[in-house]
Amino acid sequence: MINMMYLVLTAMLALNVSTDVLVGFDFMEDSIDRTIKSTKNKNQATLSDIHKYAEANPQKAQPTLTRAEEFRAQTDSLINYIQSLKEKIVSHKGGTLSDIQQKDDIDAASQVMLGAGFGEGGRLRKHIDSYREKALIYITDSLKRSAVKQNLTTKVSGSLNVAGLAWENAMFNNMPTIAAITLLSKMQSDILDAENEVLNALYRNIDHKDFRVNEVNAYVLPYSDYVIKGGRYSAKIILAAEDSTKKPEVFVNGQSLDSEMYDIAASKVGEQSVSGYIALEHGDGNISKYPFSKKYTVVEPTATVSATMMNIFYAGFENPVSISVPGIPNDKISASMSNGTLSRKNNGEWVAKPSKVGTDATISVSAEVNGKTQIVSANTFRVRALPLPAPYLTIDAGERYLGGKIKRESLLLTTGVEAGIFDGLLNIPFNVLGFDIRLSNGGMTQYESSEGNRFSRKQIELIRRMGRGSSFNISNIKVKGPDGIIRQLPNPIEVLL
DSSP codes joined into one string, 22-59: HHHHHHHHHHHHHHHHHHHHHHHHHHHHHHHHHHH-HH
What confidence tier does 300 reach under pLDDT thresholds 50, 70, 90? low
- Given this model, what pLDDT does residue 57 score? 84
- Higher pLDDT: 293 or 208? It is 293
- Given this model, what pLDDT does residue 113 score? 86
Residue 15 pLDDT greater than 70, yes or no: no
For residue range 246-273, what is the model confidence (pLDDT) as tens digits?
A: 667 888 888 888 776 778 777 777 777 8
Residue 229 pLDDT greater than 70, yes or no: no
Return d(Cα 448, Cα 248) in angstroms, integer: 92
Return d(Cα 476, Cα 172) in angstroms, integer: 83
- Given this model, what pLDDT does residue 4 score? 46
Burial 441-479 (b: 16+ CB within 10 A, else e): eeeeeeebebeebebbeebeebbeebeeeeebbbbebbb
Q: Specify the amino acid at residue 194.
A: A
- Given this model, what pLDDT does residue 412 score? 84
Region 54-74: what's the mean pLDDT? 90
What confidence tier does 132 reach under pLDDT thresholds 50, 70, 90? very high
Q: Which residues contact 317 (CB under 8 A, 6 or more apart)?
A: 353, 386, 428, 481, 482, 483
What confidence tier does 95 reach under pLDDT thresholds 50, 70, 90? confident
Return d(Cα 45, Cα 40) in angstroms, integer: 9
Region 40-55: what's the mean pLDDT? 92
- Given this model, what pLDDT does residue 14 score? 42
Model pTM score: 0.42
Return d(Cα 185, Cα 30) in angstroms, integer: 10
Q: What angle do CA 331, 334, 337 make, to 5 degrees?
A: 150
What confidence tier does 223 reach under pLDDT thresholds 50, 70, 90? low
- Given this model, what pLDDT does residue 1 score? 44
Taking all residues of the chain, what is their mean pLDDT, rounded to a whole number? 82
CATH superfamily, region 304-384: Immunoglobulins (2.60.40.10)
CATH of domain 218-299: 2.60.40.10
278: part of which helix (H) or strand (E)?
strand 270-281
Q: Which residues of the chain are in CATH 2.60.40.10 domains?
A: 218-299, 304-384
For residue range 388-415, what is the model confidence (pLDDT) as tens digits?
A: 999 999 887 778 899 999 888 888 888 7
Residue 412: burial class (beta carbons within 10 Å; 0-12, 13-18, 19+):
exposed
